[in-house]
Structures are given as structure tokens and as C-alpha cells.
Amino acid sequence: MSLWQRAVTVFRRRSLDLTKPSDWNGGDPAPAGEQVTPSSVLGLSTAWACVNLIAGTIATLPLMVYRLDKDGSRVVAKDHPLYRILHDNPNSDQTAVDYLEFMQSSLEFWGNSYSRIIRNGDKMVSLVPVRPDIVTVDRNERGRIRYRWSEDGRFFDLTDESVLHIRGFGGGPLGGLSTLAFARNSFGLALATERAARETFANGMRPSGQFVFANFLTSEQREQLDERLTKKYLGAMNAGRPYIAEGGAEYKPISINPEDAQMLETRAFSVEEVCRFYGVPPFMIGHTEKSTSWGSGLAEQVLGFQKFNLRRRCKRIEQAVEKRLLSPADRASGITVEFNMEGLLRGDSDKRATFYQSGLMNGWMTINEVRALENMPPVEGGDVPRMQMQNVPITEAGKQPDQNATSSAGPKLRVVGS
């Protein structure tokens, strides 16, 4: 029997279900002696920063509902009931940012996000988030996906028609893959390293040396020595205090300290390991040990983070919302849901100005569209797209410009399509 066949046999014999904590990483409930839970993992500054960065960035992007007009242009469908829910008020307790942050945090930890769909007749009125760790997902006798959980003294048994289920990476029909499950060893190592560092520096009495006596100590002498060391030399406040040896005691230093034990290197490795699981460049959470400080290198990493990390996460949300919350009539009428990724430019005036300039000069944006994005009122004549006159034939050089051109003092523009 080949190695692969033996592995398949062992897998089938155990009947692993990776949605059950008992089957995570071979059933080890405490890798490296640490309990890995959402609370303990968030105690790691790296995990907190990664989840906070991803969830916060996605939650603050405008989630828009669009409609195709008869002329083929796309406009914001503010009159659609889903716009108010996604953009402003998902439920009576949360803002849109609160709701999206909770939803994305659930995806980052458990690989799944659940929301109960509240309807008034055929009209959807709100989305109520549900903690993923209390939800059981399976199929009913008719083959429909079923969600069951208990919360606030109530038991829920709903089908996929009443639950917005967003699946994370590797999502099968019943759910995505949990980062808490598959990164337990890395999280456990990071937690163990943090605990070791905390206890080492808290005690102050690091094993940097040993006291050697020529003869065995009596129980009374050993007790007195322990009491004396604990009272006078234990704790960070007493670190470095000279020790007075007597009675033939000899102090011999030993080379065990945080640096020699590679504790600091292990902590740095844990930072990079956690960042790798979340797909976040380490410098974006303040770990700049191996990052260049030159703008071009960091700028490319930020662009890669937006393209290869944020975009696919946003796409999961968009498609899940369209599949579950839009009716067939909505889809037939051209209703779509999409994050406005240009919201990332709000904090960068230079790039925003360059973006607008490109749109205005090449005719794919109008003046009033730019003004609307900057929360400015429209101006008369600002709805006509314009573009510069360039690369005209040499036979046309010097001829009278058309009536739509600007004065000779500025760049000559013409109305697109004229």
C-alpha cells in the first residue's frame, strides 16, 4: 500500500469533520499548552492588528446598490430597500460600519458569517448578525441547507432562505474554513512565546547563573536561601541587584537568556506567521524589521494588499448578498451590489486629484460626477463629458477651433461624440 493510500485510509477511518473543534489539528485542544480561543487570539497584538485592519478597511468602504438605466448607464439605486439596509441601517442596534466589521471579523476567525434576514411580508427590513460559534449547519430531509442555534432564550431552525451566509476561504456549501482551526498551532506557539516572555521578565530572576556550594545544603539552609532570593532579588524592580554570597557559595553564570534562547527571534517569527495566515504585509501592522522604508517598495505592497487580499474578500460579500438578498425581478432589472473601492482614495488627496484629472481629460467622467464625489453641488453644463483635442492631423493645425473649445489660454476641449 502506497503512502497516499495509507493516508486516505487513515483519513476515512477517523471520519474527520473540520468544523468540529475536536478534529482540529489532530484533536489537540491546547497546542503548545495554550488554549486557542477568539479571546486569547485577539490578545495577540498581531492577530488584533490584522483582523482590525481587514475588517475596518472593508467596513468603511461604501457598499452600494446600483441599477442599470435604459441608456445602459449605472446609477445608485437609493430607492431600493436594500440600499438603506446595506449603506445606512442594517438593524435597529448597529450602524452599517458596525455590522460589516462584525461580519468580516467572523469571516476572519471562523470562516463564516451568518445574518438572520428579517422580512415584513415580501419586503426585507433588516439583517441581524449571529455569532458563528453557536450556529450548526447541515441539510434537512429535503436537501435544503439548515441553520440551527439558540440565542437569548430562543431556538432558531431556519433554511437558507432566511439566513445570509457568507463563506470564507475554501467555502463549501456548509461553510468556509476556519482560521482558528487551521492556524491553531501557529496561534498556540505565539501565545506560548508571549507567556514565556511575560513570565521571564516579570520574575526578574532569569536563569542567567547558578550558585554552587561545596556541600549539600540542609533543608533549613535551602529554605532560608529560597526565601532570601525571593524577597530581595525576585521581580523586575530587583533586576541587576548584586548578590552577597557567603558560606562557600560560588556564582557561575550560564548562557541562558532571552536572546540566546532566541525568544525574541521566535516572537518576530510568530508575527510573520500570523500575518501570513491573514495575507497582511507585516509593515502594515507596525512590524518593519525586514521591510524597506523606501516609498516605492511599500507602495507596491499596499497595492498588492488591496488587489489580492481586500478585493477577493469584498467579492465574496457582494456575490453572497446578490444571491440571497436580491429577487429574480431585481436581477432582471439590472440591480447589482458592489463595494466602491475608490473609497480607499479618500485619505489621499494627490491620488484622488490624479484620478479625477484622468477621468475629466479622457471623457469618462463629467465635472458634476467629480463634484458629487467631493460632496459639492452640480454646476450648469457640468453633465457633458469632455476631452482634450490631441494628435490632430497636420492639415488641421492652425484652423479655427470649434465652438466647444475653450479659450486659447487653456487646453482645448471638445464635447465627446460631437
91-127 residue pLDDT tens? 999 999 999 999 999 999 899 999 999 998 888 899 9
Res 347 pLDDT > 90: no
Q: How many CB atoms lie within 10 A of CB 169?
A: 16
Q: 20-27 long-range contacts, Cβ below 8 Å, gap at least 24?
A: 21/181, 24/181, 24/182, 24/184, 25/181, 25/182, 25/184, 25/185
Q: Is the dihedral of CA 146, 100, 337, 280 positive or negative?
A: negative
| Phi then psi dihedrals of residue 245, to 5 deg | -95, 140
Nearest to 294, CA basis, from 285, 306, 283, 305: 283
Rounded CA separation 279/310 (Å): 9
Which three three-digit cell numbers place residue 98?
Answer: 458596525
Taking the C-alpha atoms of residue 66 and residue 77, their distance in angstroms, rounded to an integer, is 5
Give the closest residue to 63 by CA, choosing from 256, 338, 411, 399: 338
Nearest to 46 by CA among 265, 287, 258: 287
Could you give the CA distance from residue 92 to residue 118 in angstroms, rounded to a whole number? 12
Chain mean position to CA 399: 58
Most confidently predicted of 89-93, 268-272, 284-288:
89-93
List beta partners, residue 38: none
Of 3-17, 228-242, 294-308, 328-342, the one with minimum mean pLDDT is 3-17
137 — phi, psi (to 5°)?
-120, 130
For the entire predicted model, the pTM comes to 0.66
pLDDT of residue 414: 53
Give mean pLDDT, residues 307-325. Answer: 90
Predicted pLDDT of residue 234 = 58
Q: How many Cβ atoms are within 10 Å of 400's Cβ, its own excluded?
A: 6
Q: Quick check: 265 pLDDT over 50?
A: yes
Contact by Cβ (8 Å): 59, 104:
yes
- Per-residue burial over 68-85, b if 16 or more Cβ lie within 10 Å, else e, is eeeeeeeeebeebebbbb
Q: How confident is the model at residue 19 (pLDDT cuts 50, 70, 90)?
A: very low
Q: What is the predicted pLDDT for the residue at 374? A: 76
Q: Tell me what percent of the residues of the chain surpass a pLDDT of 70.
A: 64
Whether 291 has a pLDDT exceeding 50, the answer reads yes
Distance from C-alpha of 175 to C-alpha of 317, rounded to nearest angstrom: 14
Mean pLDDT estimate for the chain: 75
- Please report the pLDDT score of residue 95 as a whole number: 93
Examine the pLDDT at 16 and tell me if it is beyond 60: no
Which grid coordinates are listed for 40?
A: 486569547
Domain ranges within the chain, ordered by starting residue: 1-205+260-347, 209-253, 348-418
- pLDDT value at residue 290: 58
Burial class (CB in 10 A: 0-12, 13-18, 19+), 279: middle
Q: Using alpha carbons only, give the angle 302, 306, 308 rounded to the nearest 5 degrees.
A: 110
What is the pLDDT at residue 65? 92
Which position has the higher pLDDT, 295 or 272?
A: 272
Q: Report the pLDDT averaged over residues 174-202.
A: 77
Task: State the amino acid at position 84 in one-letter form.
Answer: R
Sequence-separated (6 or more) residues with CB below 8 Å from residue 199: none
Q: Phi and psi of 255, rounded to 5°?
A: -90, 55
Express each pLDDT in 152-173 by its tens digit: 889 999 999 999 999 998 878 8
366 and 385 Cβ atoms separated by less than 8 Å = yes
pLDDT at residue number 336: 92
Q: Using CA atoms, how far apart are residues 83 and 69, in angstroms rounded to an integer?
A: 17
Q: Which of 119-123, 205-209, 319-323, 413-417 has the highest mean pLDDT?
A: 319-323
pLDDT at 24: 41
Could you report the per-residue pLDDT of 363-408, keeping only the tens digit for each? 888 888 888 777 678 888 888 887 776 666 767 766 655 554 444 4
What is the mean predicted confidence (pLDDT) over 205-211?
57
| Sign (positive or negative) of CA dihedral 89, 91, 94, 98 | negative
325 pLDDT more than 50: yes
Stronger pLDDT, 139 or 6, i.e. the higher one = 139
pLDDT digits 0-9 by tens, 37-62: 777 887 788 888 889 999 999 998 88
**Mean predicted confidence (pLDDT) in 309-320:** 91
* Residue 147, CA atoms < 13 Å, CB-side half-sphere: 25
Residue 365 cell numbers, joined: 467622467
Q: Return the pLDDT at 303.
A: 73
SS (H, E, C) 30-98: CHHHCCCCHHHHHCCHHHHHHHHHHHHHHHCCCEEEEEECCCCCEEECCCCHHHHHHHCCCCCCCCHHH
What letter does residue 123 receive in the DSSP assignment?
A: E
